[in-house]
């Protein structure tokens, strides 16, 4: 056998091996996507755990990785592994009282007494958790549902865009209308206590809106994108099964 024929045979074997690996991926793509989404949430929660067990170098590396995707403001984040236990949230005043720098708030990650913040804030926590759970639900029941069209998907993400966009405008222009939420006081007739309208901790209006809109966007994304993934991986699988016969 000449060297050229031998090389061609090895190349063919390599291509076949790659095709078989891709075929396995197309048959189990749901598990791969679930693992990726779970890893995204898991790493965000691993950061405070690493800080709590004095593995600060690794924890800080995770915070830096997520810093490109999230503002990581401490008054808009969940805290884990504090002395009070469970999941905690803190107001801006509490963060500043614990040494947070008002000129660099995102750098504050917490302390052993308060606990340490997740690497992503309330809205992204809700959105990615809902995306993960929505993916699981789609795997169980989604094939029985009609496809979510583009307009339907926009309706799922529009509330998050309005909520997040209004916060950005409020902060950039320094008008502060999302800090006072006077519009909500007017709509509700001031039925709730004042801290409900101006706070960011669990149970406040801003927290509720971030959680609701993030959850809605995550569920809508799962419903919208998973059918396309199923269709795309299915097409690739059928092509490879024919090629590998």
Residue 71 lies in a domain: yes
Long-range contacts of 82-87 (CB under 8 A, 24+ apart): 82/110, 82/112, 82/113, 82/114, 82/115, 82/116, 83/112, 83/113, 83/114, 83/115, 84/115, 87/202
Q: What is the largest CA-CA distance in the chain?
A: 89
Sheet hosting strand 115-117, strand order edge to edge: 79-80, 115-117, 110-111
- The verdict on residue 168 lying in a domain is yes
Number of structural domains in the chain = 1
Distances (CA, A) of 30 to 27, 44, 149: 8, 22, 21
* Predicted TM-score (pTM) of this structure: 0.89
Contact 86, 55 (CB under 8 A): no
Structural domain including 46 reads 6-243
Would you give per-residue pLDDT tens digits along the chain (245 residues)? 455 554 566 778 788 888 889 989 999 999 999 999 999 999 999 999 999 999 989 999 999 999 999 999 999 999 999 988 789 999 999 999 999 999 999 999 999 999 999 999 999 999 999 999 999 999 998 778 899 999 999 999 999 999 999 999 998 898 888 989 999 999 999 999 999 999 899 999 999 999 999 999 999 999 999 999 999 999 999 998 888 87
1 occurs within a structural domain: no
């Amino acid at each position: 056998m000449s060297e050229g024929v031998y090389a061609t045979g090895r190349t063919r074997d390599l291509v076949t091996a790659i095709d078989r690996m891709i075929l396995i991926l197309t048959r189990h793509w749901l598990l791969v996507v679930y693992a990726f989404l779970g890893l995204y949430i898991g790493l965000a929660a691993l950061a405070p755990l690493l800080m709590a067990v004095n593995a600060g170098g690794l924890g800080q590396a995770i915070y830096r990785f997520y810093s490109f995707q999230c503002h990581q403001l401490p008054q808009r984040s969940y805290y884990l592994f504090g002395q009070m236990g469970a999941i905690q949230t803190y107001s801006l005043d509490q963060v500043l009282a614990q040494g947070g720098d008002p000129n660099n708030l995102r750098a504050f990650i917490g302390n052993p007494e308060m606990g340490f913040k997740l690497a992503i804030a309330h809205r992204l926590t809700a959105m990615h958790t809902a995306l993960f759970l929505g993916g699981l639900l789609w795997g169980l029941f989604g094939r029985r549902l009609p496809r979510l069209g583009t307009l339907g998907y926009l309706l799922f993400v529009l509330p998050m865009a309005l909520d997040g966009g209004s916060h950005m405008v409020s902060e950039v222009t320094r008008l502060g209308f999302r800090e006072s939420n006077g519009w909500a006081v007017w709509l509700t007739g001031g039925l709730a206590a004042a801290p409900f309208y101006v706070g960011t901790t669990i149970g406040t209006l801003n927290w509720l809106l971030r959680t609701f809109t993030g959850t809605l966007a995550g569920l809508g994304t799962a419903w919208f994108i998973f059918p396309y993934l199923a269709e795309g991986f299915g097409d690739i699988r059928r092509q490879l099964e024919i090629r590998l016969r």
